[in-house]
Structure 1
Amino acid sequence: MQYGDQTSFKQSLAIQGRVINALLMREIITRYGRKNLGFLWLFVEPLLLTFFIVMMWKFLRADKVSTLNIIAFLMTGYPMAMMWRNASNRAIGSISANLSLLYHRNVRVLDTIFTRVLLEVAGASIAQILFMAVLVAIDWIPFPQDVLYMLIAWFLMAVFAFGLGLIICAIAQQIDFFGKIWGTLSFVLLPLSGAFFFVYNLPTQVQNMALWLPMIHGTEMFRHGYFGETVITYESIGFLIVSDLILLLIGLAMVRNFSKGVEPQ
């Protein structure tokens, strides 16, 4: 690569960074406002939801029916599932909410989708880190066995959330009613994501079917990083990576296809 090409690439990258940053700031202000907690709701909202679920399990004494720490089990499944679910739901309205900004030549349809998904992933990530840190500090859950493995699992599921968001947004753009029913469909997928069970505890035939779902591999991988060898998990990193790449390629192709017909208003 020649010097001129390097300079052009750096300028393009800088412009892209400014576009994403501007869209992020606009999205935060539009969604949460400038007053009171403002952008803090970005991670306070998922934090409170997870806190409510954990408290419910805690006071129902769910830990009495298993030797496994039930709160840790919940914390290693539910927040991750909510991340990709909320990201895909938010991706649906990303274009209509930013339609007027498409007049700017540097703002593309893909930028608006990426911004919304990034915001959801960031909020879920911050909430997960803070809540787990608090639970470890008050000795409700033990410290994770392999933090790096958990981070890799979270990153792969963030990529999954982006790919899924692209596809769902593209379908909703072509089929109006799909955007309205996806919330229900994603809610149905929530218990199938592995958030509330180990694959090991399923019947053998059901295990084989369940392992075709990429979300289960992410959850199993995250739990393996947390619990270590004290639990049996069936994740396949290779399968999850291939699934992420396929979703990304399909999603990018679908977005590119319908973007040509999107007119700024």
Structure 2
Amino acid sequence: MDENGPEVPRTSFAHSFAIQRRVIHALILREVITRFGRHNIGFLWLFVEPMIFTVGVTLIWSALKAVHGSSLTIAAFAVTGYSSVLVWRNMPSRLVDSIEPNLSLMYHRNVKIFDIFASRLLLEGVSVATSFLVLTIIFAAIGWLSLPEDPLKVVGGWLMLAWWGSALGMFVGALSHRSELVDKFWHPMQYLLFPLSGSAWLVDSLPPEFREWVLLLPMVHGVECVRDGFFGSEFVAHYDLGYMATINLVLTLLGLVEIRRAGRNLVPA
């Protein structure tokens, strides 16, 4: 027995979790340096990139006086829509074909495919969430939008979108190790899903017969929930987080199964 208390067994869950936490932290630092380097503003690009995209879309829509089927301001519509898109679009894109370039790391006993995926997912999730929060505060301060009516709904919808992006990313990322065709198909697929994701329109503005079809897409429910939390009193929201959670859970399990299969067939470089 140690003088500070009982020693934690090296095979315990707490010990294993501590090791994995340090591994993921190291991989995050490595990813930040690899992607952004140490020059200019460095890791701040992690937050600036999604902000530039969202602000750019907002300015273009405002200049063109775009119509989006509601009385909501362009800024409010763009921030809630395009920031939400970045969650589920960026996460899978960072994981597709990410195993091969990191094969040398697999020589380390404690580094697994899941750790590489988790580090990239955390980076993307934190960057987009920070961008979303900062833009909301700035736009609210200059009067472009109002603060959320129900912050809990905003957080809930955002977490569901992050879960969807993570589950989709793990599945597509692990599957891309099996076939390079996944990488070829994913990029055009994300562009096809973009106009159907609910970022540029409200479900309530669609014809009833088409509304049923778009609600089959899980990300639409997340976007509607985020907007319901922001300005639910100004439109009729259509979403079912229970349905989205079910799809997310199934896809998460499929992703974990595919990660395990990829790990068994892995040959370190």
TM-score, L = length of structure 1: 0.94
Residue in 2 aligned with 1:26? Answer: 30
Amino acid at match of 2:235: V
Task: Please provide the CA RMSD for this pair.
Answer: 1.9
Cα distance in structure 1, aligned partners of 2:55 and 2:124: 18
Cα distance in structure 2, aligned partners of 1:251 and 1:63: 38
Cα distance in structure 1, aligned partners of 2:23 and 2:69: 51
TM-score, L = length of structure 2: 0.93
How far is 1:15 from its partner? 0.7
- Deviations along 1:25-78, one digit per CA (max 9) or x if unpaired, are 000000100111111011111111111111111222337985321220121111
How far is 1:178 from its partner? 2.0
How far is 1:177 from its partner? 2.4
- Deviations along 1:99-121, one digit per CA (max 9) or x if unpaired, are 11111111001111121122111
- Deviations along 1:98-153, one digit per CA (max 9) or x if unpaired, are 21111111100111112112211111111111111100000111111111110111
**Equivalent runs, 1:171-210 vs 2, <5 Å:** 171-210=175-214
Structure 1 contact 63–69 (Cα < 8 Å) conserved: no
Cα distance in structure 1, aligned partners of 2:121 and 2:29: 14
Cα distance in structure 2, aligned partners of 1:215 and 1:63: 22
Shift in alpha-carbon separation, 1:64–1:202, aligned structure 2, 3 A = closer
Structure 2 contact 58–75 (Cα < 8 Å) conserved: yes
Structure 2 contact 87–125 (Cα < 8 Å) conserved: yes
**Equivalent runs, 1:1-265 vs 2, <5 Å:** 8-62=12-66, 67-265=71-269
Residue in 1 aligned with 2:4? Answer: none
Amino acid at match of 1:68: L
Unpaired runs of 5+ residues, structure 1, are: none
How far is 1:82 from its partner? 1.7
Amino acid at match of 2:188: T
Identical columns (%): 38
How far is 1:6 from its partner? 10
Unpaired runs of 5+ residues, structure 2, are: 1-6
Cα distance in structure 1, aligned partners of 2:80 and 2:70: 16
Structure 1 contact 81–195 (Cα < 8 Å) conserved: yes
How far is 1:4 from its partner? 5.9
